[in-house]
């Protein structure tokens, strides 16, 4: 009990202490972040502006792009700022917010992928009943359920994590606030330590958000046609 203290801030593990490598990390993450923003924002814009894409499948794709934007925006900018400013600090409230929103967006992402699979199942196996089953109200309810599930799931896990006292250290073995590394810092012995590689966090926090537009959207002929139309229209408007 004497070793317990109130934690007011955490130290995020950086990729390197070498200044040149920190700048390299900033540049690489900036490129990934901008590519993710551009890809997902293009998809959302095309779906909103093209009435031919106002169908259940593209409605869910638009929501999926929103979760991808949220996932990467919660974690990557702070990591880039730390590398650029040569610091590892993250305050306790910001860490709580980062955990809550990252888990919420990831959980909503998984539920949306399940809903999209159900949408394709109905379209393939029950085509005559598709419009009745996947009507506008049903789609809105499914999307809302995905977001609500993500928020509730995140609230439960975040609340259970940060109600624990931290007495081991305040150094988080990750480039952003994440539940497993935080549990390692808790005074409770209930958590079984299976070590996590720093690169694993990069692959599930950054790469999926960047690749989802390519995997689920940009291979679709209708969406590619809508994107071309959007880009040509923008260029014509600017000129």
Query: What's the whole-model pTM score?
Result: 0.77
The pLDDT, as a whole number, for residue 20 is: 87
Quickly list H helices, the chain. 19-49, 56-85, 92-125, 130-133, 136-162, 179-184, 198-205, 207-212, 221-238
The pLDDT, as a whole number, for residue 198 is: 53
Could you give the dihedral angle defined by the CA atoms of residues 208, 11, 154 and 156, in that order, rounded to the nearest 10 degrees? 150
Size of the chain in residues: 239
Counting as low any pLDDT under 50, the low residues of the chain are 1-4, 190-193, 195-197
Structural domain spans, the chain: 9-238
Q: What is the CATH number of domain 9-238?
A: 1.20.1070.10
């Amino acid at each position: 009990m004497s070793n317990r203290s109130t934690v007011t801030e955490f130290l995020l593990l950086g990729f390197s202490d070498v200044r040149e490598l920190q700048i390299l990390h900033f540049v690489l993450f900036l490129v990934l972040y901008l590519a993710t923003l551009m890809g997902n924002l293009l998809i959302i814009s095309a779906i909103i502006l093209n009435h031919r894409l106002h169908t259940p499948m593209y409605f869910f794709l638009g929501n999926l792009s929103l979760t991808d934007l949220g996932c990467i925006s919660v974690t990557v900018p702070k990591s880039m700022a730390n590398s650029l400013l040569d610091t590892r600090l993250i305050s306790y409230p910001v860490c709580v917010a980062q955990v809550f929103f990252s888990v919420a967006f990831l959980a909503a992402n998984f539920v949306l992928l399940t809903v999209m699979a159900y949408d394709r199942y109905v379209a393939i196996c029950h085509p005559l009943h598709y419009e009745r089953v996947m009507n506008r109200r049903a789609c809105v309810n499914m999307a809302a359920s995905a977001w609500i599930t993500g928020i509730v799931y995140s609230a439960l896990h975040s609340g259970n994590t940060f109600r624990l006292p931290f007495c081991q250290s305040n150094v988080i073995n990750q480039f952003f606030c994440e539940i497993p590394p935080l549990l390692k810092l808790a005074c409770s012995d209930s958590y079984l330590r299976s070590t996590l590689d720093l690169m694993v966090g990069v692959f599930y926090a950054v790469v999926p958000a960047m690749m989802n537009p390519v995997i689920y959207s940009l291979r679709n002929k209708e969406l590619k046609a809508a994107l071309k139309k959007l880009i040509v229209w923008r260029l014509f408007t600017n000129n």
